[in-house]
Amino acid sequence: MTNTTVEPDEATRLRNKVVDELCADGNLSSPEIEAVMRKVPRHAFIPDTPLDKAYDTYAAVITKTDEHGVQLSSVSAPQIQAMMLEQAQVKPGMRVLEIGSGGLNAAYLAELVGEHGEVVTVDIDPVVTDRAHRLLDEHGYGRVRVVTADAAEPVPDLGEVDVVMVTAGAWDISPAWTAQLRQGGRLVVPLRMRGLTRSVSFVQVAGEHGPYLESESGRICGFVPMQGSTAHREELLLVNGTPEIGLKFDDGLPADPHRLDNAVTTPRHELWTGVTVRIQELIDTLQMAMAISLPGFCTMAVDEDLDTGLVAPVNKRFSLAAVEDDTFAYLVTRRTEDGKHIEYGVHALGPNAEQFADKVADVLRDWEANRRGGPSPVIRVYPVDTPDDQIPADRVIDKVHSRVSLSWPSA
């Protein structure tokens, strides 16, 4: 399908190297997707980008920022693109809606659906869609329909599709996405839940009380956040009223945030849990265990310019944390003596620091005993008006257009 007839040998070598790495690390297993990623010239969809950066297996390329340097648009890393394409399970002849344009992923999708399929790609930013339209036309993918619109609304003249693939970070699930998805179709979306983002592959299920979405897989990822009517910002709570320590809440602040005003005036309680993990071990289920088990789950960031040492996180930009009434706690780590593992600890500040640290530590120990190495939670998405008794869940997250449930699968 591509009409690129002359291509630098170095680009071909680098592209094959990327695909070889993705096959080796398990992100790529489908022969069809492997062939597509070897064929489509990734660098041609990221003009003015050095080849070594265009073909960095694990790094995105930022294509647009605002005046403050905030990322507005990017071309995802090959690893993320391969992962989501695997989750989508696109077959020849399918109709696919892509939300969030760039051109490259639409070209992959066009190759996968073939001559008898259809790809529609939508973005709210006309600069992005103009660029995507031009690049797709230039490289032989003129059959892809490029639409400038807020994809939270139904796409005109679309009809039902087999796959909806969202390539921007979403906090909520727009009803338009499920309305345009055929029964049994897949929605692949980087969904943010309690501040944690997972690329989730959902299947639309016909439930007793109406259709809902149920996850097939969920993988850690990061994406430029969605713009438009479904955009959502975390709320920031400044501990002690200064910018030094910020707690970020994805689903609303605590009922009485001022109860934390004096938390940092108490001595910091430090507890080591005995829970250890290998240096490269994935901790996605540990993160989800905290998000599910702790009602006041949040993340913590420390302003390095204002840091006075009141808190001592390992990562000042992002630490898992939680709040309970007048006390907050966060996770820390340290290397074990063998140098091959890290141990988790809890720091807590507030009048009930010791008790709350024990509670957080119990969540980690329960994860180690019952969840470590096991499956991720099952994620289900219901219409916003679904009653509680129709939602099986260990944790329900209420959003504007949907109710998201998180449930650990049975042992």
- Active-site residues, by number, are 76
Q: Which letter does DSSP use for residue 222 in this model?
A: -
HSE (side-chain half, CA atoms, 13 Å) at 377: 28
Q: Which letter does DSSP use for residue 93 in this model?
A: T
Distance of CA 252 to the CA centre of its chain: 19
CB proximity list for 301: less than 8 A, separation 6 or greater: 245, 246, 248, 316, 317, 318, 319
CB proximity list for 72: less than 8 A, separation 6 or greater: 64, 65, 66, 125, 224, 227
Tokens 């690129």 sit at which residue? Answer: 4
- List b or e across 305-317, with b for residues whose CB sees 16 or more CB atoms inside 10 angstroms: eeeeebbebeeee
Contact 40, 107 (CB under 8 A): yes
- Residues composing the chain: 411
Alpha carbon distance 212, 402 (integer Å): 10
**Which residue in 155, 179, 20, 31 sits closest to 99, CA to CA?**
155
The encoded tokens of residue 349 equal 């500040």
CB neighbour class for 125 (10 Å; exposed up to 12, middle 13-18, buried from 19): middle
DSSP-derived secondary structure for 232-274: ---EEEEGGGSTTEEEEESS---S-GGGGTTGGGSPPEEEEEE
